[in-house]
A and B are shown apart, each in its own frame.
Chain A
Amino acid sequence: MSTRRTGSGPTLNFKAVLLGEGCVGKTSLVLRYMEDKFNTQHLSTLQASFVTKKVSLPDERRAQLNIWDTAGQERFHALGPIYYRGSDGALLVYDITDQDSFQKVKSWVRELKQMRGSEISLIIVGNKTDLEEQRAVSYETALRYAQTVGAQYVETSAKENEGVSELFELLTQLMLEHHGNKLQHDASSLRLQSGSSGIGISEDIDTDADNAGAAAEQRSCCGI
């Protein structure tokens, strides 16, 4: 189950998180993308799960996409920061037939903007286009909103397998561009990460060297 591989050049490592209200189809999008399956009676996600997939980039490099799929029930919102804290990209998913779930996306956008600023690439995802006749949020409304907050907008149907692979390609593309920009703009090209759990009491590890001198020696978040 190890995902290690040698000999094919450097592998870029990207982390992304799926956020959104319960039952909008976060897990279904992941399941469709990873296994090309759709489960009409899927289990609800209580504890965030993690999947990983290797993708080939146009320039022949390889990237490893690490995706967190999180719980949707409102109170699990409290655990959100644990996942988006270290992420390079976020998919904010709503159900196009459910106005409330679109409002929930807006609250995630506000939180992510505040906590991560431009550090994280955002894609807003309107899922369940197979239920077009019950649509409650118009394409234009969502697109306009996405533009105002600097996010991309994509519509998908995990059920009918529409737009799903394109969504993850776009996500990879955005994170790659962001990574490239960072390399250009940031001389040190490094992002330091503090202890990953973020719920700690004491620091058991030495990852907190948050100064420029140490930075040059640190491993990039995107792998070596």
Chain B
Amino acid sequence: MEATASSRFSDVDEYGFRRGEHFDYENYGKFMDKYLKTLTRRRIKWEAILKQNPDLSQPDAKLKRYIRKGIPGPFRTDVWMKISGAEAAMKKRPGLYRSLLNIDHFIKEINDSISIDLPRTFPDNIYFDSKKDRLFNILSAYAHHNRDVGYCQGLNYIAGLLLIVTDDEEKSFWLLKHIVEDIAPQYHSHNMSSLLRDLAVFRELVIRRVPAVNRHIEKLELPYAVIASKWFICIFAEVLPVETVLRIWDCVFAEGHKVVFRAALAMFVTHKTAILACHDIAALVTLFRDTMIQDNIVTNCHSFIESMFSLRLTHSEIESLRKVAVLNAN
């Protein structure tokens, strides 16, 4: 009943996700008018890059700049596999994934908990029903491969989105392995200690960059874990709009975990006014849970990525804050 002649966009996006009831078609249209042109231009440039440097073996400043501007959809799988090192790892152990699907003793509890989460993974995606068996394979293979992690809720969203993008079980497995072991080390492990550590680091970064926002959040007594644990556990999958998540992941695969902090910090910086305008904890929770993750700021992935990279942030700052956080926790 909301459909108007002006809505040129289907209620399902290009990845198969149904758009929400309150999806802002008008603003999305304005954004896409520009973004589609950008995408076309970028695709031509990427064709040239891949011709010149097909294995992306020299990740120079130019490549990094291009990646920050977004990897075009058709090249995404290939580029992710190469820049993350997942392809090299896969070539080193070519039989690993198949062998994990054929092990003798599956751990029943692990497979049961994965099975419970399958119908809950992206129920709003129209293509996903047919991919659920493959998602099960990826998650079960990984859980049996890395017993320290096993299966952690949230991995279903990461692996699910990888599968949507790559449409390839084995590549999804290797990219998942890269995320869990190199991007978010120990976030998903049994005591989640490094998740707690990085939430503390994140809080400290908020104190340093937008102190008024931290004061306001703490005055209203909203724990950072409520705001951001899903951001870190899922690397924004099933949090932000898909295109924005993929743009973040482009940079995550190229540049590592610092990008996750950049994205989280950008969420706070770009929404500073809205956060400060919340007068009680309920309003703040609604802002973080519903409003902020689908508004124009995050839907316009291009400017959101720009705001992420306009923030000052170094590896050494994160590393030194991590050390302090670990000391404080003990």
A and B together in one complex: yes
What is the chain A residue whose CB lies nearest that of B239? A47
Interface residues on A, range: 35 or more
Known: A76-B192, A202-B204. A193 touches B215 (CB 8 A): no
> In the bound complex, what is the Cα–Cα distance between A83 and B221 (angstroms)?
11
> In the bound complex, what is the Cα–Cα distance between A3 and B284 (angstroms)?
11
Return A75 CB to nearest CB of chain B, in Å: 5
The count of A-to-B residue pairs whose CB atoms sit within 8 angstroms is: 125
> In the bound complex, what is the Cα–Cα distance between A200 and B116 (angstroms)?
34
What is the chain A residue whose CB lies nearest that of B212? A204
> In the bound complex, what is the Cα–Cα distance between A196 and B174 (angstroms)?
38
Q: Which residues 33-82 of A sit at the B interface, judged by CB distance below 8 A?
A: 41-44, 46-50, 52, 66, 68, 71, 73-76, 78-79, 82
Q: Is A126 an interface residue (CB 8 A)?
A: no
Q: Is A2 an interface residue (CB 8 A)?
A: yes
- The residue in A41, A83, A86, A197 that gathers the most chain B C-beta atoms within 10 A of its C-beta is A197
Is A2's CB under 8 angstroms from B196's CB? no
Q: CB-CB < 8 A to B282: which residues of A? A: 1-3, 50, 52, 66
Q: CB-CB < 8 A to B269: which residues of A? A: none
Selected A-B contacts with CB under 8 Å, 25 pairs: A2-B282, A3-B282, A4-B280, A22-B153, A41-B120, A41-B123, A42-B120, A43-B123, A44-B153, A46-B154, A46-B233, A47-B225, A48-B229, A49-B226, A52-B282, A75-B188, A75-B189, A76-B192, A78-B195, A193-B221, A195-B218, A200-B204, A201-B200, A201-B328, A204-B215
Q: Is A198 an interface residue (CB 8 A)?
A: yes
> In the bound complex, what is the Cα–Cα distance between A52 and B285 (angstroms)?
10
Known: A52-B282, A199-B203. A71 touches B153 (CB 8 A): yes
> In the bound complex, what is the Cα–Cα distance between A2 and B226 (angstroms)?
19
Question: In the complex, which of the residues A49, A75, A201 contacts B152, with contact meaning CB atoms closer than 8 Å?
Answer: A75
Is B207's CB under 8 angstroms from A204's CB? yes
Q: CB-CB < 8 A to A76: which residues of B? A: 153, 192
Interface residues on B, range: 35 or more
Known: A41-B120, A73-B153, A197-B203. A48 touches B225 (CB 8 A): yes
Residues of B within 8 A of A (CB): 113, 116-117, 119-120, 123, 152-154, 188-193, 195-196, 199-201, 203-204, 207, 211, 214-215, 218-219, 221-226, 229-230, 233-234, 279-283, 285-286, 289, 321, 324-325, 328-329
Question: In the complex, which of the residues B119, B199, B215, B222 contacts A199, with contact meaning CB atoms closer than 8 Å?
Answer: B199
> In the bound complex, what is the Cα–Cα distance between A43 and B122 (angstroms)?
10
Known: A44-B117, A46-B153, A47-B226. A75 touches B289 (CB 8 A): no
